[in-house]
Chains A and B, each alone.
Chain A
């Protein structure tokens, strides 16, 4: 069974009296354990596609089924539930909570799903071990380097062991060495936990790591290198 199935999906945005088509007639399928990327220049529709897969937005036409749920038919509450239980997000700018320690930042997604404190502790420690940051448990985000902060955000995305992780330009703010470290960590997690990773990127460093490359130009899939 596919994790994500997109059929004839189109996304249009109203601009004044006319409409702008951000995505046109997209047909894609993603299976469990994929490590793939949506590649394209700025304005090609990568983030819009990621938004729809991540239930942050809804398609204008066609269907997008994620983990058996049709994104177009979900209420705001149901979409939030889907994200909190089954998805992890990695952002370009890390977006760690500045008043929380590394431990608390990683723990936060587990608070949203009401996990017990003991279970939370185990999961947070495991997640920090995956990204080799157990020595920074009590540090605040402003005490971390860019690479460390992004590894914390990976741990935060992975801590509940979601089926799907969506990453939008995760290495855009990192140098080559840190980017490699981050990508190595994600590849390992993909292998170890069979988590599906979908990237939106135009960064060559990321592209070389991808097992599947989907090229998007002007809202249309031009190539799907399975």
Chain B
């Protein structure tokens, strides 16, 4: 009987081709859109983690409250001790201190007069062998020309910013900022390299220096704005990080001491938790819309099909195929259609998703005024879910559509079959 059903489907294109095309289009769109949403979400999370939040972050309670303003007067002191403890207690996490700062970068001419200047945001990064921060920030890959800071007073500058200021490697740059104690800080650096991060917010006006040099510049001995932690595989695990944060806060957090350290997970920073929830919500909505829309379309197609096959269904009932079995066989047909459509749609959806995963979509022109820490190239991400996110709804929509349409079988009166079959 299965052979009979398959033959019917393969020979009657209006019974198979149209529904298969519908299902495969739906599955294709779902796979691609899901991969695209996931890719964009992960890009934003990954960029945020690398440049800003870490998978986990330690700062003082007071710094946390005003962290948007980068208040280095509230930064952590005694970093080496705390870092030592963290590295020994949680050795499966990569720990690294960072100083975030803002200020003005002044480029002098040969006489020491201002040639150009511009507002700058900066990072003090630990380039020592103990820290893996240069790899986390992909600084070596981002280096367009020059070398990484080897001395305290060497500074990397982003490419767009260097063009804007007209500064070249080997030239001096003066950072004008404020020290940890609130007094004016002026420190001379030498540009040692030019970098392009591929993140508009960074490329527009960022500098990176050795953390020890920045400490000297901002008068922050053994201090850091924050200590960031990353899992060694660089994959964010919410449950693991939450557990770690709870353990740390239980030990170090003191409600009455605003300078006591507090640990936050990635999702607890910058509204990322809400962002993840929203993205997941949209992902679910997308799949729901697909299932409902496809079910309605396939229900309609099933009704049209049932009208076209009115005679065949009547004949089969007259010949002794019971209504239940006939209904079951129509559903079985829809399973074949759903399988074929879903497999095709998923296959082509995965091909496009893989293509977008490797080549991505350049949105640099849209990001000119963006302050978001996210990559300029949005890529899709193919995950295990991509393999079934379109496949299962495609199959369900096909079956549900046929189940609705097939109810008509139960409304047929066998007593009318002779008359109906004479038409």
Contacts and interface: CB of A to CB of B under 8 A. Distances in A.
Interface of A: 47-48, 50-51, 54, 56-57, 76-77, 79-85, 87, 89, 91-93, 95, 97-100, 104, 108-109, 111-112, 168-169
B12 interface: yes
A47 B1 contact: no
B257 interface: no
Contacts of B414: 51, 56-57, 76, 79
Contacts of A99: 7-8, 11-12
A80 B422 contact: no
B311 interface: yes
A80 B321 contact: yes
B320 interface: yes
- B: contact size bracket: 20 to 34
Interface in B228-264: none
Interface of B: 1, 4, 7-8, 11-12, 311-312, 314-315, 317-324, 414-415, 417-419, 421-423
User: Most A CB atoms within 10 A — which of B7, B11, B315?
Assistant: B315
A104 B3 CA distance: 11
Contacts of B311: 95
A182 B4 CA distance: 28
The DSSP consensus for interface residues of chain A is: helix
A109 B319 contact: yes
Contacts of B415: 48, 51, 56-57
B417 A56 contact: yes
Contact of B8 (A82, A85, A100): A100
Contacts of A109: 319-320
Given A95-B315, A112-B319, A56 B7 contact: no
12 contacts: A76-B323, A81-B320, A91-B422, A93-B421, A98-B312, A99-B8, A100-B4, A100-B7, A104-B4, A109-B319, A168-B422, A169-B422
Contacts of A56: 318, 414-415, 417-418
Given A79-B414, A81-B320, A81-B322, 11 more contacts: A48-B415, A57-B415, A76-B322, A82-B320, A83-B319, A85-B320, A91-B422, A95-B421, A97-B8, A100-B8, A108-B319
Contacts of B11: 99
B422 A84 contact: no
A80 B1 CA distance: 17
A201 to B, nearest CB: 13
A111 B319 contact: no
Nearest to B317: A80
Nearest to B321: A112
Contact of A168 (B12, B317, B418): B418
A54 B317 CA distance: 12
A51 B418 contact: yes
Nearest to B415: A57
Contacts of A47: 418-419
A104 B6 CA distance: 13
B18 to A, nearest CB: 15
Contacts of A80: 317, 320-323
Contacts of B417: 51, 56
Contacts of A51: 414-415, 417-418
B315 A97 contact: yes
4 nearest A-B pairs in the assembled complex, by CB-CB distance = A84-B320, A57-B415, A83-B320, A80-B322
